[in-house]
Amino acid sequence: DTEVTQTPKHLVMGMTNKKSLKCEQHMGHRAMYWYKQKAKKPPELMFVYSYEKLSINESVPSRFSPECPNSSLLNLHLHALQPEDSALYLCASSQDGAGMAEAFFGQGTRLTVV
C-alpha cells in the first residue's frame, strides 16, 4: 500500500466554523507533513511530524492546529479561518531521516472559506 489518503476531498466552511482534515498512511513512514498550495504556486510547508512529535512549525497561524494521534494518522484542525486560507491542503509522508528521497502525497483537500 503506497497510498496517502486524505478526507474530505472538498470542504466549504464559514469563518466561524470548526472543521478537521484527516490524513492516513500505512507505509510505516515516520515523518508526516501538511502543505498548503495556492493555485499556480508550489506546495508551502506548514507542519512536520517526526515520530509522532511536531518537529517543524513554519510560523503557521494558530487557527491551524495539527495533531498526530498515532504513526499512521495526521489531522489538521481548523478554526476561525479567513477567506485567504482557501487553498489545496496536501498531506504527505516519508521515511524519516536524511537521504530519504521520496515523499508520498495525498490527493489533497480543496478548502473554500466563505
Partner 1 sequence: GQSLEQPSEVTAVEGAIVQINCTYQTSGFYGLSWYQQHDGGAPTFLSYNALDGLEETGRFSSFLSRSDSYGYLLLQELQMKDSASYFCAVRDNYGQNFVFGPGTRLSVLP
Give the footprint of partner 1 on this chain (CB under 8 A).
31, 33, 40-45, 48, 50, 55-56, 90, 92, 94, 96-108
Please give the distance of CA 82 from its chain centroid, rounded to a whole number: 17
CB 15 to partner 1: min, Å: 25
Taking the least distance from each CB to partner 1, the nearer of 82 and 112 is 112
Task: Give the nearer residue to partner 1 in terms of CB position, either 1 or 16.
Answer: 1
Q: Which is nearer to partner 1, 49 or 64 (CB)?
A: 49
Q: Is 51 exposed, middle or buried (0-12, 13-18, 19+ CB in 10 A)?
A: exposed
What lies within 8 Å, CB to CB, of 59 at 6+ separation is: none
Quick one: cell of 1? 500500500
In the bound complex, what is the minimum distance in angstroms from residue 38's beta carbon to partner 1? Answer: 12
